Amino acid sequence: MAGRRVPAAQSAAEASRTAPPRVDWARSSQLAQAIAAGYGADVCWEAAIVALLLLGRPTGARYVEGFLIPPDTDLPDDALPIAHGWAELADGTILDPHQAAIRGALRGRPEPSYLAVRRYPLEDVLSAHQRRARFPLMYHGWAEPDDPEVLAVRAEA
């Protein structure tokens, strides 16, 4: 995905969909510290939801599920990509307190790649959480593992 050229005929919205996502690691680290200080989110799905709540439910922000591809892993190839959840602001900036905490513990770790499958409004995610939905939602009732969109993103990884 990195280095993909955007043809001049694409609109700004189309170009933003093809550009590699930008992760705000400083803000993600601040959120990771706040979450660790008492909010108890110890998995990526929860951390992403709590991050959006701590930020005051920013307009246009989404809870995102997709895949993470760490560049420095000892995992076997069949374990990659890894299902993952993160927060995304209206401008496309990724906030990932879960990965920020890991990167804080493992200094110098290269940045992972993110591949979004589904973006959900926070209110929908909170409603699903109240109904005790299982996460990731993309595998538990909101999209199936053999969903064509999920398979296409996994294949792209």
Residues 6+ apart with CB under 8 A from 120: 62, 63, 64, 65, 137, 142
Q: CA dist 8 to 5, 12, 14, 15, 19, Å? A: 9, 10, 11, 9, 13
Is 9 domain-assigned?
Answer: no
Percent of the chain with pLDDT over 70: 67
Is 5 domain-assigned?
Answer: no
pLDDT digits (tens, 9 = 90+) for 74-119: 655 555 788 899 999 999 999 999 999 888 887 877 788 899 999 9
Is 86 domain-assigned?
Answer: yes
Is 66 domain-assigned?
Answer: yes
What radius of gyration, in Å, describes the C-alpha atoms of the chain?
Answer: 16
Is 14 domain-assigned?
Answer: no
Number of domains in the chain: 1
pLDDT digits (tens, 9 = 90+) for 48-65: 999 999 999 999 999 999
Is 89 domain-assigned?
Answer: yes
Confidence tier at 141 by pLDDT (50, 70, 90): low
Would you say the C-alpha torsion 94, 85, 147, 141 has a positive or negative sign? negative
Enclosing domain of residue 75: 21-156
**Cβ contact 54:27 at 8 Å:** no
Is 103 domain-assigned?
Answer: yes
